[in-house]
Chains A and B, each alone.
Chain A
C-alpha cells in the first residue's frame, strides 16, 4: 500500500493519527536508512513486549529497518517469541498455525502475483528454529525444493523459548534443556547445508554483531527472493533467559558465539550473484 496507490484525501492528512503522519513524513518509506541513522527516523517497530536482553528483538528491529519496500511487504510468522515483536511492526503479519509459515507463504506469494501482476510484493517468513525445522520442516524444505520466491529468516535462539525452554533441532549437542534432561542427544541441525542441497539462491548465516551487515544481508535476501528464487537467513539470536546470559553480556555472547561457530557466511548462486551485481552496481 504505497502513496502511489492510496492517499488520504486532501485536508484529511492532518487528522490522521500522529503515528501515521510520522511514518509518512519521517519514516523509511521510499528511503534506505543506514545503521548509523538508527534513532533519527520513525521506525516501523517501536514498542514490544520482549524480555530485556533478547537478542532477537535487536535483530527483528534491524530486519524492519532493512526492508527495501515495506509498503509492499507481507510477513508470515508463527507461534514463538518472534511474533511478539513482529506483530508490533507496521507491516501486515499473518500469524497462522505452528509451522505453516513456508506452506502459507508459498500460496500467498503466488496469489499476490496473480492479483497484482504489476507490483512485486515481498513475502518474508520470519520464525524461530523450532517452528521452521522441527514442526515446519516439510513446509520449509518443500518450499525450497519448489524454489518459491520468498525470503525465510530463522531467528535461531537454539531453544523453544516461548514455551519455556525445551530443546529444539537447532540446540547444540550435549546442552541440557527441558525435554533433554541428559543433554541433547543429536547434533545441531545443519540447515545451511540443507539449504545448499535444496538449491536456495541466497543463504546467509549471521549474528547480530554488525548492524550494517545485517541490513545489507536482509536487503540482499529480499531482493533476490523477490525476483530470483528462495533465500534464507539464519540468524543467531540468543535467548538470554533460557541460556542464563546476563543482560549486559548478551552482545558479548553474540560476538563469542560468532567467533566460535556462527561466523558470517554468504552462499550465493550464480544467477543470484549476477542479479546482485546488476542491482548493486546500479545503486552506485
Chain B
C-alpha cells in the first residue's frame, strides 16, 4: 500500500487514458503519482514526477525535472520502492523549503 502522508488529491488521471493520479505536496513542491490501466496486469506500474506548484486555487503545477531528486519521469514496479522514494522526496522537499526560505526575496 502506498503512503497516504502529504497526499492532497486523489483523482482520475487527467491524461485521459484512465487510472488514478495522486498528488503529494510539501511546501511548493510535490510528487505527481500516476497508475494507468495496462493490457497485461503484470505491467501495471507507478509513474512519478517531481512537480512544482504554481498556484493553490486553482491547483496547478509544472513538472520539474531540474531537482536533484529526479531528472525524468520515474517508474516504480512495486509499492515498497515507491514508498522509499516518497519518503526521500518528503525529506528533500522539507530541506528545500527551508533553504528557499533563507534566500533573499526576489
Chain A directly contacts chain B within the complex, with at least one CB pair under 8 Å: no
